[in-house]
Amino acid sequence: MRILEAPKPGETLELNWALVADFLTRFLREELAWRGYDKAIVAVSGGVDSATTLALAVRALGPEGVHALFLPHRQSSPLSREHAHLVAGSFGVRLEEVDITPMVEGYAAQTPDLTPHRKGNLMARARMMVLFDKAEAYRALPLGTGNKTERLFGYYTWHGDDSPPLNPLGDLYKTQVWGLARYLGVPEVVVRKVPTADLIPGQTDEEDLGVRYLRADVILEHYLKGYSDAYLLALGYTEEEIRRVKERVNRTHWKRALPTAALLSSTAIGEFYLRPLDYRP
């Protein structure tokens, strides 16, 4: 198994992990209660993001209030199953396994031109179908596991990974998830594993993105705050790294928005009327 390199100076975005953990624990409790739920459900992949989400859910609700699903496909890495069981066991949650192979391959058999990329998206959406159905069965709210880096890059399956209504990690960069994971006691073998969506055999996130998370996150933080390219270059980041990061962010804004409705009135949903945070009882 490949493991992550240790970060170099200037490649981390440190936070007060105890404070972050307490805030996100309270966030989950309050948001679940506001929606009328006392249980959550998490799709556990064997990766650090879902492991950290599970840890926070258990902190908020106790292991009895959390359901965990492992949703493999026949081409999933054996390590994914091993690490999913390790994570669930570490936090005292029973792991339910549902094989999505029949769902995916049933469609693939009728689609001879299905590319590996399209099949990967199909797998991600199949997992969400199962997650939401099990959520209904257990009267539990699905929790998202996407981090801020993936969200800014648009590096997820639209209407797949981004579907759950509550996401505790959505404002944490990937490097910050690693820091929080260690604080919460996620097994080190999971934290140090090279990130992969495990949708295409041999694929890794950083090879797809063309830039290391440790570098990308610092570039993203400065870019979002309005720092110039010249400033980033002076910090030691390359023109190619900066270009890749900015291009990924700028061409995926549409993936981070609600469906675009044509505006015909002054009561358009989500635009002028019934914005959720404004109308809480």
Provide the greatest CA pair distance for the chain.
56
State the amino acid at position 219 in one-letter form.
Answer: I
Give the whole-angstrom CA distance, residue 127 versus residue 43.
8
Distance from C-alpha of 54 to C-alpha of 26, rounded to nearest angstrom? 14
pLDDT of residue 77: 92
Measured CA distances, 1 to 40, 272, 278 (Å) = 31, 51, 48
From first to last of the 281 residues of the chain, give the pLDDT tens digit: 655 555 565 556 899 999 999 999 999 999 999 999 999 999 999 999 999 999 999 999 999 999 999 999 999 999 999 999 999 999 999 999 999 999 999 999 999 999 999 999 999 999 999 999 999 999 999 999 999 999 999 999 999 989 999 999 999 999 999 999 999 999 999 999 998 888 888 888 888 888 999 999 999 999 999 999 999 999 999 999 999 999 999 999 999 887 888 888 877 776 665 555 554 45
Q: Give domain limits for the chain.
A: 17-196, 210-258
Burial of 37 (0-12, 13-18, 19+ CB in 10 A): middle
Tokens of 7: 């970060």
Whole-angstrom Cα distance, residue 14 to residue 154?
A: 23
User: pLDDT value at position 7?
Assistant: 56
The residue among 157, 112, 111 whose CA lies nearest residue 131 is 157
Structure tokens, 140: 């539990």
Tokens 């199949």, residue located: 126
- Of 3.40.50.12780, 3.40.50.620, 3.40.50.2300, 3.40.1360.10, the CATH number of 17-196 is 3.40.50.620
DSSP string, 219-252: HHHHHHTT--HHHHHHTT--HHHHHHHHHHHHT-
pLDDT at 6: 56
**39: enclosing H helix or E strand:** none
pTM for the full predicted model: 0.91
Sorted by sequence, the CB contacts under 8 Å of residue 277 that are 6+ apart come out as none
Q: Are the CB atoms for 69 and 131 separated by under 8 Å?
A: yes
Contact 87, 51 (CB under 8 A): yes
Strand runs labelled E in the chain: 40-43, 66-70, 95-97, 141-142
